[in-house]
Amino acid sequence: MDRWLTIAGIGETGPQALSKAVKTALADASLIVAATRFHAALAAMLGTSDHVLGFPSPLADLYPKLEAHKGQKIIILATGDPLWFGIGASLINRFGAGACLVIPHVSGLQMAAARMGWPIASCKILTIHGRTIDQILPSCQRRARLLVIAENGQSAPQVAQLLTEQGYGDADITALAHLGGDGEASFHAKAADWQHQVPDFHILAISCPDRSAHHAGFALADADIENDGKLTKADSRASAVAKLRPFAGAVMWDVGAGSGAVAIEFMRLAPQTRGFAIDKNINQIDMARRNAKKFGVSNLQHIHAELPSGLGDLPVPDAVFIGGGLSTATIDACIAALRDDGVLVAHAVTLESEALLLAAWQKYGGKLVRLSVHHADPVGGFHGWRPLMPVTQWHFIKYGTAQGISDGKR
């Protein structure tokens, strides 16, 4: 099939500034989809706007209209580069790359970097359009530069308030509005001092200070995580997360999640992770939800369910951590669900749960490790080593074959 769907970028300068190729596609199109602010200019350029539609809300309502004209010449004008946090990706997923011709325009993100004098390759690019603002927190590292696509005019004050609440009140924020257009404007202040009213269409440039806030980095401090005492402590948590091998787009289960600390650490390291925290205790679920929001992974999904029955409807995992609710049935269910080359890490601190891990190790293979941690603490006027409860860690990688699961060794 011909590439019947053209997805072209457009800037604030409007249709008249588009390339010859895009103008030709507009002239040949039987259907045009564009933001309403461009309709008058399109009508003036084409002589009519009868075949010009705006973007519906919700955006999913656009697909039936496109399906009805499938195979005809259609052009969609999307802001900037349609494949950079734009509609292009969802359209290609829907209709296939073979049906789509993408013609990018200079992105507002590129313009924002240019206005700030920042090499764009050194910036962290994020969007809060249609997403929760707390997801910017994992990227707020010392000296980091963030470019953030806003949702609307409330995005700037909301981000400023969030950064201030999370200890980054001295972060520099610049809101760059209507980049490239006649109404281009910029607004600047420290997060703690933000008072500006900003137009809906803008990008936030955030320069983080030369220090770390409490939520920055890996192996979050135990004291920063809300818990009821049943917490995978930072040292053993760091070991577990490292062995779980986080990667972008992974599916991760935190079984018997408790505070949700392991899932939270995993998701902060691996963008676009689909994380699931499963626990039978509703109080633990509520606590994990609060921690997830605090640390910028409020997209962590919380499942209140018994184990292992609550695992049945979840997507196939790439990584599983079992921190609570250990049982032979739960271990077997997790192993069965795990994707080939997937990783499982389980922790035990009691003799009874350690016996379960010993049996699983004997059955499936993998590696069994004893983690012993001692902290130097005051003892009178001196100092001594104070031990934490030792943790037994089982680390298993699933290598599936026609004969079954191997012993965890290649």
CA distances from 12 to 19, 297, 376 (A): 14, 33, 60
Question: 363: helix, coil or strand?
Answer: helix
Looking at residue 276, its pLDDT comes to: 98
Angle formed by the axes of helices 261-269 and 282-294, to 10°? Answer: 30
Pair 171, 329: CB distance under 8 Å = no
DSSP strands (E only) in 47-123: 52-53, 74-79, 100-103
Query: What pairs with residue 382 in β-bridges?
Result: 379
Low-confidence residues in the chain, pLDDT < 50: 401-410
How many CB atoms sit inside 10 A of residue 353's CB?
18
Contact 75, 4 (CB under 8 A): no
**Do 347 and 232 meet the contact criterion of CB atoms below 8 Å apart?**
yes
According to DSSP, the β-strands at 172-177 and 404-405 are: unpaired
Amino acid of residue 199: P
Domains of the chain: 5-105 (3.40.1010.10), 109-207 (3.30.950.10), 222-405 (3.40.50.150)
Nearest-angstrom CA–CA distance, 241 and 260: 12
Phi-psi region of 398 (alpha: psi -120 to 50; beta: other; left: phi over 0): beta
Q: Is the link from the previous residue into 308 a cis peptide, with omega within 30 of 0?
A: yes
3-state secondary structure of 344: strand
336: helix, coil or strand? helix
277 forms bridges with which residues in the sheet? 254, 302
| CA 202 and chain centroid, separation | 21
pLDDT attached to residue 1? 54
Q: What pLDDT does 89 receive?
A: 94
Residue with tokens 């249609």: 130
Does residue 286 sit in helix, strand or coil?
Answer: helix
Plot region of 366 (φ>0 → left; ψ -120 to 50 → alpha; else → beta): left
User: What is the pLDDT, as a whole number, of residue 410?
Assistant: 38
| Residue partners of 349: CB distance under 8 A and separation at least 6 | 389, 390, 391, 392
25: helix, strand or coil? helix
